[in-house]
Amino acid sequence: MNDIQIRYADDSDLPYLIQNDSLVTEEIIKKKISDRQVIVCMKGETHLGCMRFGFGWDMFPFLNFIIVEKDVRRNGIGRELMEFWEQEMKAKEHKLVMTSTDVDDEAQHFYRKLGYRDSGGILFPQELFPTSAMELVLIKMLK
C-alpha cells in the first residue's frame, strides 16, 4: 500500500490505541509508548493498524498484539508492520523474535508465511481462558 508511514507511537496515538487495544489498561499503553514498545501504521492522519510488544524472559522481543483495520486488511500492512518491527529488533542486535496465538486462530498461518516456526505451546487453566486454553508459541531467527 502506497503512502503509508510506520513509526513508534507517541501520545497523539493514545486515543486510537485505547480504543483498539482492550487487552491492556491505559496505564500500560502509556508505559509501552514511553518505552517505545508500540508501533503504528498511518496513512496521512488515519491509523491503519498497530502493534505492541515486550520482551520474553527480559531478552527476546515478543509480539503481544497486532491489529490491522478491517477495511485495509490483505493489503500487506500486517506484513509491513512485522518487517518494520523485525528490522528494528535486528538493529538492536536481537537474534530471535517471538509471538503467540491461540492454537485455533487463523493468525498462525500469517506468521508462518513470514517465516515463523512453531516452537511449542502453553496450556493455560481453563477457568482463565474458557474459549481457548492452548497458546501456540512461534519464533523466528533474524538473519
Query: For residue 123, what is the domain's CATH number?
Result: 3.30.70
Q: C-alpha cell of 53?
A: 510488544
> Are 88 and 31 in a shared domain?
yes
> Are 44 and 65 in a shared domain?
yes
> Are 35 and 77 in a shared domain?
yes
pLDDT score for 106: 84
Span 101-134, pLDDT tens digits: 988 788 999 999 999 999 999 888 877 776 666 8
Q: Please identify, among 94, 116, 133, the residue that sits at the C-terminal boundary of a domain.
A: 94
> Are 15 and 52 in a shared domain?
yes
Residue 110: which domain range? 95-143
Residue 56, strand partner residues: 60
Count of domains for the chain: 2
> Are 47 and 104 in a shared domain?
no
> Are 51 and 82 in a shared domain?
yes
> Are 54 and 108 in a shared domain?
no
What's the predicted TM-score (pTM) here? 0.92
| Ramachandran assignment for 87, one of left (phi > 0), alpha (psi -120 to 50 degrees), beta (any other) | alpha
pLDDT score for 56: 93
Span 28-45, pLDDT tens digits: 999 999 999 999 999 999
Torsion, Cα 133 64 42 115, to 10 degrees, reads: -90
Extended strands (E) in 31-112: 38-43, 46-56, 60-68, 96-102
Check residue 69 and report its DSSP letter. -
